[in-house]
Amino acid sequence: LLPVEYYTSEPGQIGQRNQGISLLMESTRLVATMDDDTVFKKNSVTEIIKFWNSVEPETAGVGFNIVGHPPNRHTWLRGIFVASNPEPGRVLKSGINTSITNLNQNLRTEWLTGGATVWRQDILKRFEHREIRSKWSIGEDLIFSYPIGQKFPLYVCSSANLETEELELKNLTINHHIYRGKAQYLWLL
């Protein structure tokens, strides 16, 4: 039997993560931060625990492999404009990050997604989680995890698969697309 406690909070990944961290017991070693649109594949939790037991003790976080999304795609033209790189899991000088989804092998990465990752609790408590008010927090996970990845190992476990439900972009208005474009640009800047 798995004990479950349910808490409510305002929308927003950072605020929700901060609330969850404040409620943890000190004995909790690992903490999963998950989006509400994730669907676990069979044995994904077992696989991520097995992976955690195989990595170096200073590892800060291990991400699930989000399948059903395209893998990292690189073109030489986008590479000239520092908008892509052949290696997944990199953060480019432009601020753009390369994909860490649909991997065929485990990956040491420079960043992790905010909604499909298992972190060490001491890492979550050590690094600041300043809340940024926004309707859409594209890039929040990059802003949070990249500095951690500069000091501690981060990985994505290729056998710990999950899927996410995609927002129907075709139903959005032109104004919503313009807002999302501006928001993405400003977050990555």
Average pLDDT over residues 19-43: 88
- pLDDT at position 135 is 62
Q: Which two tokens stand for residue 181?
A: 């474009």
133 phi and psi angles, rounded to 5 deg? -75, 120
What's the burial of 165, exposed, middle or buried (CB within 10 Å: 0-12/13-18/19+)? exposed
Percent of the chain with pLDDT over 70: 91
pLDDT category, 56, cuts 50, 70, 90? very high
- The Cα 70–Cα 60 span in angstroms is 26
72 pLDDT exceeds 80? yes
- Which tens digit of pLDDT belongs to each residue from 37-53? 788 899 999 999 999 99
Name the CA radius of gyration of the chain, rounded: 17
Which string of DSSP letters, residue by residue, matches 51-101? Answer: HHTTS-TT--EEEEEE-SS------HHHHHTTS--SSTT-B-TTS-B----
Considering only residues 51 and 78, tell me which one the structure prediction assigns the higher pLDDT: 51
- pLDDT at position 159 is 97
- pLDDT at position 139 is 77
pTM, to two decimals:
0.86
- The Cα 183–Cα 189 span in angstroms is 10
- The Cα 69–Cα 52 span in angstroms is 24
- The Cα 98–Cα 168 span in angstroms is 22
pLDDT category, 167, cuts 50, 70, 90? low
